[in-house]
Amino acid sequence: MVSEGKPVGWRSQSEMDHYIRCPQCGALVDMRDLGEVLNHLHGQEIDEEPATMSVTCATCDGTGWVCENHPDRPWEGPRARGCGGAGAPCPACNIPADSETPRILEGYRVELDKDGWRH
């Protein structure tokens, strides 16, 4: 099992546990510093693996909408409160830029009037 890039239960025994010797130039490289690691690629290409993990907003469960009365809960889905409150754009992931409307749920539409968009 891995947590934050380290095996569970791993503890450094000394500061030197965080360093490796660069096979190209022999310098010590601090593996906690990505910039330092990248500087020691010496022109070598990095093989990238395709991303297999999808990131879902924990506030709205990826829907983009929360309950107006319970903004820490999704408006729809298994974790929704079902209190009858109106939906509101998720404050964590559905923040529209000025003069834009928030991302909407499939099957819904945004209504505009002289005051702007309504949710």
pLDDT in tens, 12-26: 777 888 888 887 888
Average pLDDT, the chain: 80
CA dihedral 33→37→39→40, nearest 10 degrees, is 150
- pLDDT for 27: 87
Q: Which stretch of 64-68, 72-76, 95-99 has the lowest confidence by average pLDDT?
A: 95-99
52 vs 65: which has the higher pLDDT: 65
pTM: 0.48
**Which segments of 1-119 are extended strands (E)?**
2-3, 6-7, 19-21, 28-30, 65-67, 87-89, 111-113, 116-118
Q: Which two tokens stand for residue 1?
A: 């099992």
Residue 20, phi then psi, degrees to nearest 5? -130, 160
Q: Which two tokens stand for residue 26?
A: 């022999």
Pinpoint the alpha helices (H) of the chain.
Answer: 34-39
